[in-house]
Amino acid sequence: MSRPPALDPLFRSLRSIKGVGPQLGALLNRFFGGEGDTIALDLLMHMPTGLVDRRRMVGIAMAPPGHTSTLRLHIDRHIAPPRGRASQPHRVFAHDQTGEILLVYFRAQGNWIEKLLPVGEERFVSGTVGIFNGVKQITHPDYVVDVADFETMPLVEPVYPLTHGLTTKALTKLVRATVETLPELPEWIVPERLEQFPWPTFREAMTKVHVPKEPSDSELWGAARMRLAYDEYLAGQLALLIVRSTLVAAKGISRSFTGEITGRVESALPFELTDSQQLAITIIREDLAKPTRMSRLLQGDVGAGKTVVALMAMAAVAEGGAQSALMAPTELLAAQHLRTIQPLAEKAGLTVALLTGKQPAAERRAVLEGIASGAVNIVLGTHALFQGAVEFADLGLVVVDEQHRFGVSQRLALTDKGRHADLLVMTATPIPRTLVLTHFGDMDVSVLRDKPRGRQPIDTAVLSIGEYDRVIARLRARIEQGAQAFWVTPLVEESEVLDVVSAEDRYAALRDVFGDQVALVHGRMSAAAKQEVMDRFKANEVKILVATTVIEVGVDVPNATIMIIEHAERFGLAQLHQLRGRVGRGAQRSACLLLYKEPLSETARARLETIRDTEDGFVIAERDLDLRGQGDLLGTRQSGMPGYHLAVADVHKHLLEYAHNDARSIWRSNPGLTGPHGEALRALLYLFRKDLALPLIRAG
Ligand code: ADP
Ligand code: MG
């Protein structure tokens, strides 16, 4: 199962390459941000974002100003700056058959320019042609080469994302050296797909992209980039299937139900289940009854009522005598789940416990004992649930709430606690199909489409912060009528210019108006302090809660009917939607106010209007995908979920479906990834850093 030796050159540290000293090495490590040293593979996967075309060789007279040209020049004379006038450039006069041109160098030291461009000789010079005082000139040419060395000038040159201190030249040289060490690898794409798309081999594709002969070689819609995008998708899909096979195909336990406990929970509910809640519960019970492991994603917009579905699943598992664990992303949410779940569960005769990282030792020990003895049926908590010390008597079901903060590897780690435990993952982010495939291809999906009955639409308005006085007057009137309000401000980095109102600023300003009806909660407070403030808000002692986005996920205060979001232009669409979902949870009509600071760009306005015009999370998610890209939607930046380097969704996403299907048929016919094709696929997984999935493949 070890890495194919053919890939060894790609996994070499760049420091082993001649010309990469400690300084450049450190710079590359920072830039590529890996854990260890940057390796050759990192360079290979570093895609150009554009290119410079130096093929224009039309002579000085025809060289268009503002564009890159390559000229064959006869060098006539040099004029160095007069002594003590370092601000003046060094000028080189040159000509060809069509005209004259000036080559200009600022702050040139020493006489290297004389050596580079010897008078009386010919050189190929490439750079951007400009005009100064009516004379054509090139300032700091990109390339100057001897006529005999013309071959060494890259006529079509990729342009890479760079960082301070890293030049295109240095990077290009390293990338080219890497491409040269790349061996021809066995083909992993299935023949039928290659018949449909006449793509180059992986090696050819990498060569075209990094050492293009013509611009189309490295264009996003060119065959080379298409192939590489497909490869990346295929690696991702295959890895997900491997994960899925360990989760699902691994033996689960076939659960049976008496209907007793679930019946009691259902009759304790103060409302009727919606049709989609009912359907989801039925399907989950079917999953639980199967001898394979459940791995299901429950999608439902904010307020769709996912918690009850989870509770019914946990109650069903309890009927067979097994335990359930529900993991929330924050202690605040875990505590909130306790408050909703505990009364209902206890009416049904179940014991519920909360386990967090910050509990007093004695309390924690008691909870751990209850979990180990089986006295506790349902445990709620944060990721602390799945750390070493926790031993379950019989863990049957793991529920993960607000899934988008957890990645595939976390999913694997937590089902490890219960070897046969079923897995239910809940997410409030409506996820478009393409993203479900890329991030949750290993899971089955249920969707809660309809919202609980009696929900009122939320009146959403977009206003400039210039209307602050009016906003305050209206807020005061609503508060006097008994309403409660959230006032959300963006997180402000200390480094940011203080043009942005922070939660502290807004809290101070609102206190001047509303006195101690206002409270503040933000991410830097301790969990206990946050909880205390939230409790006072829930108890209606606090009327206005000023908050950073800590309230983003899951917080449920039905009496809160006003959501004011300041600097709404700084939030993502998904985030705004989540925030707005904090209101409109009770029977009263709710309002959401999106306050922006002028000037507002066209796109920013379009985004705010999207939120104003629809409450459909799926519509918003699709728009968000268009406007911001997938990383933001799923919060991958924080959670380190799989991102794509080579595939660009806008151009390549149609290939995802092919990769998905191909991965499935490969996995069906060759689940051990054996034989030559299996070897090829393993190499693919290593190339795209998905090899973590490989040890999961069961022998035989
Ligand atoms: P989310 O899907 O965002 O996690 P919750 O599970 O927190 O939503 O439910 C939101 C609110 O809706 C809660 O107050 C819950 O009690 C209530 N609720 C859930 N299901 C129903 C239903 N079928 N009818 C009425 N209210 C419901
Ligand atoms: Mg929830």
* DSSP strand pairing (544-547 vs 518-521): parallel
Nearest CA to ligand 1 atom 19: 305
**Dihedral sign, Cα of residue 218, residue 223, residue 229, residue 235:** negative
Tell me the percentage of the chain whose pLDDT exceeds 70.
87
**447 CB less than 6 Å from ligand 1?**
no
Hey, what domains does the chain have and what are their CATH numbers? Answer: 5-50+175-219 (no CATH), 55-153 (2.40.50.140), 260-448 (3.40.50.300), 458-614 (3.40.50.300)
Cα of 420 vs centre of ligand 1, distance in Å, is 29
Express each pLDDT in 553-574 by its tens digit.
Answer: 556 788 899 999 999 998 888 7
Nearest CA to ligand 1 atom 18: 305
Which ligand number lies closest to the CA of residue 558? 1
Express each pLDDT in 235-245 by its tens digit.
Answer: 988 888 887 77
- Residue from 377, 308, 304 nearest 340 by CA: 308
Pocket test of ligand 1: the residue of 301, 307, 338, 400 to mutate, having most ligand atoms within 8 Å of its CB, is 307
Write out the E strands in 31-67: 50-53
Identity of the amino acid at 208: K
Which ligand number lies closest to the CA of residue 585? 1
A 10 A CB-CB count for 597 gives: 17
**323 CB less than 6 Å from ligand 1?**
no
Express each pLDDT in 676-696 by its tens digit.
Answer: 999 999 999 999 887 766 766
Residue 599 is given by DSSP the state S
Q: Does 626 score more than 70 pLDDT?
A: no
Report DSSP letters for 482-497, one per residue: T-EEEEE-----TTS-
Cα of 545 vs centre of ligand 1, distance in Å, is 22
Scan for tokens 């033996």, then name that residue: 251
pLDDT score for 494? 55
- Residue 586 Cα: closest atom of ligand 1: 14
**302 CB less than 6 Å from ligand 1?**
yes
Express each pLDDT in 73-107 by its tens digit.
Answer: 999 999 988 888 878 899 999 999 999 999 999 88
Express each pLDDT in 35-73 by its tens digit.
Answer: 667 888 989 999 998 888 998 899 999 999 999 999 999
- Residue 454 Cα: closest atom of ligand 1: 25
Cα of 52 vs centre of ligand 1, distance in Å, is 56
Which ligand number lies closest to the CA of residue 402? 2
CB 142 within 8 A of CB 127: yes
Cα of 164 vs centre of ligand 2, distance in Å, is 43
Cα of 337 vs centre of ligand 1, distance in Å, is 12
Q: Alpha-carbon distance 432 to 386, whole Å?
A: 29
Nearest CA to ligand 1 atom 13: 305
Sort residue 110 into left (φ over 0), alpha (ψ -120 to 50) or beta: left
- Residue 340 Cα: closest atom of ligand 1: 16
Nearest CA to ligand 1 atom 26: 452
Cα of 437 vs centre of ligand 2, distance in Å, is 23
**429 CB less than 6 Å from ligand 1?**
no
Cα of 349 vs centre of ligand 2, distance in Å, is 23
- Residue 581 Cα: closest atom of ligand 1: 3
Cα of 568 vs centre of ligand 1, distance in Å, is 26
Ranges 33-42, 268-277, 374-383, 434-443: which has the least confidence: 434-443
CB 217 within 8 A of CB 156: yes
Q: Alpha-carbon distance 681 to 187, whole Å?
A: 8
**271 CB less than 6 Å from ligand 1?**
yes
3-state helix, strand, coil in the chain (%, to 5): 45, 20, 35
Nearest CA to ligand 1 atom 16: 305
**428 CB less than 6 Å from ligand 1?**
yes
**617 CB less than 6 Å from ligand 1?**
no
Local confidence band at 638 (pLDDT 50, 70, 90 cut-offs) = very low
Q: Alpha-carbon distance 649 to 273, whole Å?
A: 38
Express each pLDDT in 190-229 by its tens digit.
Answer: 999 999 999 999 999 999 999 999 888 988 999 999 999 9
CB 252 within 8 A of CB 294: yes
- Residue 300 Cα: closest atom of ligand 1: 2
Cα of 344 vs centre of ligand 1, distance in Å, is 13
Nearest CA to ligand 1 atom 10: 303
Which ligand number lies closest to the CA of residue 300? 1
**551 CB less than 6 Å from ligand 1?**
no
Express each pLDDT in 281-324 by its tens digit.
Answer: 999 999 999 988 888 889 888 778 999 999 999 999 999 999 99
Q: Does 627 score more than 80 pLDDT?
A: no
CB 252 within 8 A of CB 291: yes
Q: Taking residues 616-640, report their average pLDDT.
A: 56
Cα of 556 vs centre of ligand 2, distance in Å, is 8
Cα of 553 vs centre of ligand 1, distance in Å, is 14
Six-digit token string for 568: 């709404």
pLDDT score for 663? 93
pLDDT score for 442? 65
CB 121 within 8 A of CB 107: no
pLDDT score for 476? 95
Longest dimension (CA), the chain: 99
**300 CB less than 6 Å from ligand 1?**
yes
Tell me the percentage of the chain whose pLDDT exceeds 90.
47
Identity of the amino acid at 238: L
Q: Does 642 score more than 50 pLDDT?
A: no
Residue 246 is given by DSSP the state I
Nearest CA to ligand 1 atom 17: 305
Residue 247 is given by DSSP the state I
Which ligand number lies closest to the CA of residue 617? 1
Q: Taking residues 167-186, report their average pLDDT.
A: 89
pLDDT score for 460? 96
Report DSSP letters for 437-495, one per residue: HHHHTTSEEEEE-SPPTTPPPEEEEEEEGGGHHHHHHHHHHHHHTT-EEEEE-----TT
| Mean of per-residue pLDDT scores for the chain | 85
Pocket test of ligand 1: the residue of 274, 308, 340, 577 to mutate, having most ligand atoms within 8 Å of its CB, is 308
Task: Give strand pairing partners of 446.
Answer: 298
Pocket test of ligand 1: the residue of 556, 577, 582, 588 to mutate, having most ligand atoms within 8 Å of its CB, is 556
Is the model more confident about 671 or about 463?
A: 463
Sort residue 133 into left (φ over 0), alpha (ψ -120 to 50) or beta: left
Which ligand number lies closest to the CA of residue 333? 2
Ranges 89-103, 121-135, 552-566, 619-633: which has the least confidence: 619-633
Is the model more confident about 584 or about 537?
A: 537
pLDDT score for 268? 94
Nearest CA to ligand 1 atom 4: 306
**274 CB less than 6 Å from ligand 1?**
yes
Q: Taking residues 133-139, report their average pLDDT.
A: 93
Which ligand number lies closest to the CA of residue 538? 1
Which ligand number lies closest to the CA of residue 447? 1
Task: Give strand pairing partners of 101.
Answer: 94
**403 CB less than 6 Å from ligand 1?**
no
Q: Does 255 score more than 80 pLDDT?
A: yes
pLDDT score for 386? 73
- Residue 558 Cα: closest atom of ligand 1: 14
Local confidence band at 451 (pLDDT 50, 70, 90 cut-offs) = confident
- The 3-state DSSP class for residue 546 equals strand
pTM of the model: 0.61
- Residue from 690, 692, 666 nearest 438 by CA: 690
Ranges 116-125, 173-182, 431-440: which has the least confidence: 431-440
Cα of 300 vs centre of ligand 2, distance in Å, is 9
